């Protein structure tokens, strides 16, 4: 029976071990993986996750003018000349574009996990779709769910999001042996299943977002299972198309 591991922050990713026949599922509920999921819902062409501002600007140099948008933050502050990485704010600005995304935690986690067999992007928005994808396409593999965390610290909202994903997965199968951290996330979610918005607001990052007037963003991000597809990493870009979309 393969295992389902849960890492509590991106710093726990072992870039060698995760490449040994494992599938990664990345969570940065506030905000990166929710933003990525929402961007595909709103019609983005593809997305390039980068490590920092310098790499983002370097990627932009190779693209046609007006074909892309720079989006990102560093330590919670929007990078100068970039768009805010907030799902609802981006809705009207990214359709048909390539989004180059730089965040302090989520995109770094994605890149650190890039050696895995597959890297999927998950949030509350598409946690059910992510579970369905794992259950239908990766039954023989060890799964590593990764909470991105924030600045090297554990984040409650990522733990909750991973718990939701695990709960969706375990409703349909008992194929995976859960590690203790995965079991803990599952129990935490089950105990608070109807409190998604409360959990996000109570988290450290959620408190900051509320302070800056982003209540609508949190309300949107807290919606569970409304997006029926799972973005995935292919050749350094995030896409949501072809055989990987909609769990088919």
Residue spans per domain, the chain: 3-238
pLDDT score recorded for residue 202? 98
What pLDDT score does 172 carry? 79
159-192: pLDDT as tens digits? 999 999 999 999 978 889 999 999 999 999 999 9
Cα separation, 120 vs 23, in Å, equals 8
- The position carrying tokens 């029976």 is 1
Identify the pLDDT of residue 247. Answer: 34
The beta strand positions in 156-225, using DSSP E, are: 177-178
- Residue 68, H or E segment: strand 68-74
Strands (E), 83-231: 98-102, 118-122, 142-147, 177-178
Structure tokens at 63: 């693209």
CA distances from residue 60 to 24, 48, 117, 200 in whole angstroms, order as listed: 27, 10, 27, 33
Residue 150 CA: distances (Å) to CA of 29, 57, 158, 218: 11, 23, 10, 17
Q: Which two tokens stand for residue 245?
A: 């979309």
pLDDT of residue 5: 98
What pLDDT, in 10s, does the model give residues 41-70? Answer: 999 999 999 999 999 999 999 899 999 999
SS3 5: strand
Q: What confidence score (pLDDT) does residue 243 get?
A: 41
pTM above 0.85, yes or no: yes
Check if CATH label 3.20.20.100 holds for domain 3-238: no
Per-block average pLDDT, block size 10, for the chain (248 residues)? 96 96 97 98 98 98 96 96 96 97 98 98 98 94 97 97 97 91 98 98 97 96 98 97 43
Reference 126, options 207, 9, 238, 202; nearest CA is 238
DSSP 110: H
The pLDDT, as a whole number, for residue 248 is 30
Q: Residue 167 corresponds to which tokens in the numbers above?
A: 């709960």
The C-alpha atoms of residue 232 and residue 241 are separated, in whole angstroms, by 9
156-172 and 180-191 helices, crossing angle to 10° = 90
């Amino acid at each position: 029976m393969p295992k389902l591991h849960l890492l509590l922050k991106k710093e726990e990713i072992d870039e060698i071990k995760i490449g040994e026949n494992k599938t990664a599922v990345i969570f940065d509920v506030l905000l990166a993986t929710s933003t990525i999921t929402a961007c595909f819902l709103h019609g983005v062409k593809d997305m390039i996750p980068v490590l920092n501002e310098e790499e983002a600007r370097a990627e932009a140099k190779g693209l046609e003018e007006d074909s892309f948008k720079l989006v990102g933050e560093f330590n919670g502050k929007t990078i100068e000349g970039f768009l805010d990485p907030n799902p609802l704010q981006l809705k009207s600005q990214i359709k048909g574009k390539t989004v180059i995304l730089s965040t302090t935690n989520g995109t770094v986690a994605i890149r650190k996990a890039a050696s895995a067999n597959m890297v999927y992007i998950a949030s509350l928005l598409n946690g059910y779709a992510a579970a369905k994808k794992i259950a239908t396409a990766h039954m023989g593999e060890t799964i590593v769910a990764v909470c991105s965390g924030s600045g090297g610290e554990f984040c409650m909202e990522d733990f909750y999001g991973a718990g939701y994903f695990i709960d969706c997965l375990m409703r349909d199968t008992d194929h995976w042996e859960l590690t203790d951290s995965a079991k803990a996330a599952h129990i935490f979610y089950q105990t608070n299943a109807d409190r998604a918005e409360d959990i996000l607001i109570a988290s450290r990052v959620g408190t900051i977002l509320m302070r800056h007037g982003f209540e609508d963003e949190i309300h949107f991000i807290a919606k569970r299972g409304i997006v029926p597809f799972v973005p995935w990493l292919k050749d350094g870009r995030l896409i949501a198309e072809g055989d990987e979309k909609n769990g088919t």
